[in-house]
Amino acid sequence: MQTIKAAVCHEFGQPLVIEDIQLADPSLGEIEVTLDAVAICHSDISFADGAWGGTLPAVYGHEAAGRISAVGPGVTGLAVGDSVIVTLIRACGSCPACAGGQPTICETPVDGDSHPLKTADGGALHQAMACGAFAEKVVVSHRQVVKINPDMPKDAAALVACGVITGVGAVVNAAQIRAGQDVVVIGAGGVGLNAIQGARIAGARRIVAVDMSEEKLAIAKEFGATDGILATDKKPWIRAMRAMGKGADAVIVTVGAIPAYDDAPRYLGRGGKVIMVGMPHSGAKSSYEPVILAAVGQGMIGSKMGDVVIQRDIPWMVDLYEQGRLKLDELISGRWSLDQINEAIADTKTGSAKRNVIMF
């Protein structure tokens, strides 16, 4: 075991505590990554606020990038010194979901309580989301990482680990948007902006952003939205349909707000579908009129992490970035140190930040 610094959650809804923790050496099939950057995702904040329960104390953080600093037995194709993106997608590779090409819904349970983290005095410490990246280093499965060009800035690379693959993947993989179709994206935050980018890359004809903020709608247009509509307008779906000339082929809901889910089917055209990405708190419920969906062939499906296969999709997205076709640097609102993580979280909670990044 080695000692590293980490931001630890001891009580839901309370500030994280920067303290020494113990990190185990990588075991079979694992690697150790010394992190250069980790972005703050709203999922980390929701977990730390107790929205979905979980074990405490815990180390959150799951959008990370760094360099491999140790390799466990049985790992091939990765070496010390390699630059990698670290994701929370830990896929066994052999369960029915993985074998069927859906590693984001791997059926093999992950035990984040027994390995690899301990408190400074040897007590239990939960590795949240199979990652625990609000720390100087992580030990993760080799299946969770993708090797990248060492020249790629790590702050930009970290964003790909969750927000980018979730937003772009929801459009490309889950909605399967093709050129000429129309897309509505509800929520123009970090994931929403990437859904907008995904729709632009896929060749969507009209991309309508819906948000509570005029400022965010303006930013959405910089990322590819053709139209922006305030969610606070009366019947915003009518305005969206006027912009498109018809109902949407896909509505991507990137926020966890119940009113957004209640209204999402109203934007759809015949045969359209709602892609459910944003995650409300446990127990929250939405309502809709199923007869309408049934009568005109509409649908509602969930999309976890953009339904990505990381070894297939991340290299493609990184290549788009290197070509200048996928905006990553523009997503970064601020760069902070680990000691400033609570200030960075508070800034993220204001809703004005696209992505705040912790730099090591």
* CB 189, CB 159: distance < 8 Å: no
Identity of residue 57 = P
Please name the CATH architecture into which domain 176-302 falls.
Answer: 3-Layer(aba) Sandwich (3.40)
pLDDT (tens place) for every residue of the chain, 360 residues total: 999 999 999 999 999 999 999 999 999 999 999 999 999 999 999 999 999 989 999 999 999 999 999 999 999 999 999 999 999 999 999 999 999 999 999 999 888 787 899 999 999 999 999 999 999 999 999 999 999 999 999 999 999 999 999 999 999 999 999 999 999 999 999 999 999 999 999 999 999 999 999 999 999 999 999 999 999 999 999 999 999 999 999 999 999 999 999 999 999 999 999 999 999 999 999 999 999 999 999 999 999 999 999 999 999 999 999 999 999 999 999 999 999 999 999 999 988 788 999 999
Structure pTM?
Answer: 0.94
332, containing H or E segment: strand 332-336
Helix (H, G, I), strand (E, B) or coil at 273: strand
**How many Cβ atoms sit within 10 Å of the Cβ of residue 129?**
24
Assigned superfamily of 2-162+307-359: Medium-chain alcohol dehydrogenases, catalytic domain (3.90.180.10)
CATH 3.90.180.10 residue window(s) in the chain: 2-162+307-359
Q: Residue 123's CB: how many other CB atoms inside 10 A? A: 11
8 Å CB contact between 176 and 199 = no
| CATH 3.40.50.720 in the chain, residue ranges | 176-302
Single-letter code of the amino acid located at 164: V
- Backbone torsions φ then ψ of 7, nearest 5 degrees: -100, 115
Q: Is 106 helix (H, G, I), strand (E, B) or coil?
A: coil
